[in-house]
Every structure is written in C-alpha cells, then in structure tokens.
Amino acid sequence: MEVRATNTPLLEWAGDGLAVGLFEEATELTGDLASLDEKFAGLLKELISEEEFKGKLGSTTITRVGAGSSVRKIILVGLGKPDSLKYETLRRAAAAVARLAKKQKCKTLGISLPIVNNDPATSAQAITEGVQLALYQDNRFKSEPEEKTSQVETVDLLGYGGQEAAIERANQIASGVFLARQLVAAPANAVTPITMAETAQTIANDHGLQLQILEQEDCEKLGMGAFLGVAQASEIPPKFIHLTYKPEGTPRRKLAIIGKGLTFDSGGLNIKGAGSGIETMKIDMGGAAATLGAAKAIAQLKPDVEVHFISAVTENMISGRAMHPGDILTASNGKTIEVNNTDAEGRLTLADALVYADKLGVDAIVDLATLTGACVIALGDDIAGLFTPDDNLAKQLEEASTAAGEKLWRMPMEEKYFEGLKSGIADMKNTGPRPGGSITAALFLKQFVKETAAWAHLDIAGPVWADKENGYNGSGATGFGVRTLVNWVLS
Ligand code: BES
Ligand code: MN
Ligand code: ZN
C-alpha cells in the first residue's frame, strides 16, 4: 500500500473511496464539504441526517455514489470536538477510514483531513501512521492467507501536496512498529534468543548499524550472574544483543535503550500456574521488540544522536539445571541477589543490562519491560508505568509519549518500599510483597544504575498487547513503545 501526497482539489479527486472529516456538533456543512455536498446533490446532508452522524472521534459512515460518478463511495469520519483536535485525532480518524475502506473494497482511497497546529508535515505523518498501523496484517502463521479480501492499494492525502518526506518518515517509523508487532506476536517456538540475535543482525546489515552479540561465555567473563542465572535452565543459548547507531559527525547526545527480552517466561520453578496466562508469555520480550523496532526506525531516520540498543535475551525455563528458589546470584556490579521468586526474572536480566549500559558513558538510559502484573492492575491495559528519579527525563518521555499517542503515567519511586527487598543473607531479594509490586520492581532496577545516570524504566506489561481492536492497533501485539522511543531520540 502506498500513501501519496497530493494537492488535487477535493471536488476533482477520482477513485473508489473519498473520506472527509467532520467535527462533532458541526451543524452545517461549510467550505469544501458544502461544495462536495452540492456536487453530489445533497448526498452528504442526507447521509448525516439519515445515519444521525454526530462526528464522534473515529465514528464513520459510508454511502454509495450514483453509477457513472468519478467517486464510488463517500466516507464521513468523525473528528470529535474542534478544540480537542490533535495529531492523535488524525491518527485515529485515518485508521477508522482505512479499516472501513478495506472492508468496503476500496482499492484507491482519498482522505481529506485538517492540518493540525498549522504543521502540515507532522499532520501528514500522523495520518500516514494511522493508515499504516491500522492496515497492518499478520498472515505468517496461516497456511492460507485469510479470505482474499481486496486490499487498499493507494491512499491520497488531499491538501498535503509536497509532504512526501513526512510520509516517508511515517513509513520508516511504521516499519519499526511492524517489526515489534511481528516479534511479539510470534510464539516462543518461532522467536527464540537465537532468532532475536538474527533479527538484530538483519537490522544491522540492512541499515548499517554496528552489532555486538555477547555469547554465554562473554557474559560469564563480564560477571553477568543475574542474567545467566535466569538463562541456565534453557536448552537455547542466551544472547546479549548490543546494536549501535552512530550518526555522521559528533552526536548531539548519547542514549541507551534497553528492552526486557524473555522470549518465554514459564516462571521457572515458581512456575506460573493454571489461569496465570502462562500461554501468553511469548509477549515477555515486548521491551526487546520495541528496542529492535526503534533501532530499525532510527537507523532510517538518521538523527544526530548516538543510540545503543541493548537486550539480554533468554527464556525462563525449568530443568535439572534451573535456578532453585533461594539461590543467590551475583550481578556484574558485584551486588548479590537472593532469588526468592524465580518468576521475578525480568529484573534479573535487566540488572546486568543496566550495568552494561551504564558503562557506555551515555547521557540517559531508558529501559522498557513487560515487568509486572502489578503494573497492569494499577494502570490497566492501555497505560505504561513510568518510573524515574529524574524529573527532566520524565518530562522528555512524557512529551515523546503524548506526541506518539502512547500513554504513560508516572509512578512514585517510594524509597521506603525498598525495605520489602531486604534480604537476611544477600544484598537484596528479587521480590517484595504483593502491594506496590511494580514500585519495588523499579526500586530493584535502580540498584544497578549509578546514582548520577539519568535513567527511566517503562513497565509496558499492559499495553504490549491488545485483547481487542483499539484505534490504529488491531487485536494482538501493538508495538507499544517504538514511536515514543523514536520521538524521544529525535527530541
Ligand atoms: N513477565 C511477567 C510480568 C507480566 C505479567 C507481563 C502479565 C505481562 C503480563 C514477570 O516476569 C512476572 O512474572 N512478574 C511477576 C512478579 C512477581 C513474581 C513478583 C508478577 O507480576 O506476578
Ligand atoms: Mn516472570
Ligand atoms: Zn517475565
């Protein structure tokens, strides 16, 4: 599917489906809409009143235009109230249009949506993102593709002539989101530590990034006892992935992005029981997927920022070699950890990844992890938890996420709760009491970052997956985090 910029006037555009935006409480048609209504002999007015179309954000209605017309179908899409118009409005409206156009077998689609903030580039980018993300399909695991419904082939953004570069940027970002969705959606017998490393190699080859893969022996030499403790029961070797994007010339800043990379989380000997959702735990590499997706996008966008993409990838399995509950591990910063629960494995893998990233001399570190069920209980399925002691970094990430339409909510790092992680025998336990479980997880991670480093942790256990279609996300893997990371790196 190709998105194109054009200045073809609304009344002259010809094709299968023509979509126009309508604000909520727009009592009468004005400007282009009035002319369009006139061109089709009052069809729009009729459609609005017959369907009681109210213009609620993302609502749509469609009508067939008489035979012989240059446009086959007209789609109205709601934009909500004019004073709440933002880029996210465009993404959601464009997504609703794209889905309906596909269902209605429109091969060629024209979209007329307003320019937000007098910024046609960012607006065109948002519309393109909405269309691309909504039309994403994953047929990899079907022996035959879903019934051959016709596909949308071209999408013309009316009134956006000259915005080719913005469309290209959106396509590059979407390619990163698609990669993240594909990695998360694929089951644990298709995405393993080995295939994750291969994916990193493909990104490096395709887009000219540096890649270092640390094998188990390399991790042993670095003393990554926490990561390797988690990995030790798996038949598949762990892979520590470090991809680097370096701009031409001196970088404006240096950043590190870390993703939790559990290709499957059985819980270990503290096995996830029946009804725990163990069969969904292929998603436990969602942080690593967002990290690789961001790498793919950023390598194409080429900002003047150096970015390190890091993931300690393994499975959390059970075997005769598995960690015993109560084992004491030593992380690469020398700190000792009593593993009172083998299912709190993500923080163990992240501990060594954080120590590694901290040694790179970067200005800031952000980690993304499907870390706790507690965070899902706190914030639900749509919102990720943001944990950081650094107000400035919090602000950067909040702005990046708002612009992306990916929701974050800052959570407190209540130091007192670290008492819950006190161990009688080692420096700390890996698991505290159930109350405040996402906070103690973040406090645990903090032990592996120097006090001076700007660091933030995003708990994405909720939004990594959607049970049902929601705006431009279909049901399934969302690719959450990629677009926030891209905005953050570019900011
Ligand atoms: N991967 C899980 C967290 C998770 C839960 C992600 C639900 C996505 C959806 C993590 O490794 C885990 O098992 N966390 C435990 C921690 C507990 C043992 C302290 C949890 O949340 O129950
Ligand atoms: Mn776990
Ligand atoms: Zn996990």
CATH of the domain at 480: 3.40.630.10
Tokens matching residue 109 = 């689609």
| 8 Å CB contact between 328 and 339 | yes
147 and 190 share a domain?
A: no
Last residue of a domain, one of 110, 130, 158: 158
Residues with catalytic roles: 272, 347
- Residue 405: which domain range? 171-490
In a domain, 165, yes or no: no
Rounded Cα–Cα distance for residues 234 and 317 (Å): 5
Going from the Cα of 92 to the center of ligand 2, the distance in angstroms, rounded, reads 34
- Within this chain, do residues 62 and 191 fall inside the same structural domain, yes or no? no
**Distance (Å, whole) CA 74 – CA 43:** 9
- Same domain flag for 125 and 225: no
Q: How many domains does the chain have?
A: 2
Per the domain annotation, does 189 fall within a domain?
A: yes
- 191 shares a domain with 138: no
Q: Residue 473 gets which letter from DSSP?
A: B
CA of 346 to the centre of ligand 2 (A): 6
Asked, for residue 360, whether it belongs to a domain, the answer is yes
pLDDT at 147: 64
Same domain, 296 and 378: yes
Give the C-alpha separation, 369 to 4, whole Å. Answer: 36
In-domain check, residue 164: no
203 vs 243: CA distance, rounded Å: 9
Domain ends where: 133, 158, 183? 158
| Per-position pLDDT tens, the chain of length 491 | 999 999 999 999 999 999 999 999 876 898 889 999 999 999 999 999 999 999 999 999 999 998 889 999 999 999 999 999 999 999 999 999 999 999 999 999 999 999 999 999 999 999 999 999 999 999 999 998 776 668 999 999 999 999 999 999 999 999 999 999 999 999 999 999 999 999 999 999 999 999 999 999 999 999 999 999 999 999 999 999 999 999 999 999 999 999 999 999 999 999 998 899 999 999 999 999 999 999 999 999 999 999 999 999 999 999 999 999 999 999 999 999 999 999 999 999 999 999 999 999 999 999 999 999 999 999 999 999 999 999 999 999 999 999 999 999 999 999 999 999 999 999 999 999 999 999 999 999 999 998 677 999 999 999 999 999 999 999 999 999 999 999 999 99
Residue 149 shares a structural domain with residue 186:
no
d(CA 303, CA 476): 30
Kindly state the greatest CA–CA separation across the chain.
82
Last residue of a domain, one of 112, 128, 158: 158
Atom of ligand 1 nearest to the CA of 341: 18
Closest by CA position to 21, among listed 81, 92, 93? 93
Decide if 375 contacts 385 (C-beta within 8 A): yes
User: Tokens 């080995």 belong to which residue?
Assistant: 194
266, 279, 343, 377: residue to mutate for ligand 1 pocket, most atoms within 8 A of CB: 343
Q: Are residues 136 and 216 part of one domain?
A: no
pLDDT at residue number 452: 73
Residues 6+ apart with CB under 8 A from 402: none
Q: CATH number, domain at 42?
A: 3.40.220.10
CA of 109 to the centre of ligand 2 (A): 45
User: Is residue 145 located within the same domain as residue 177?
Assistant: no
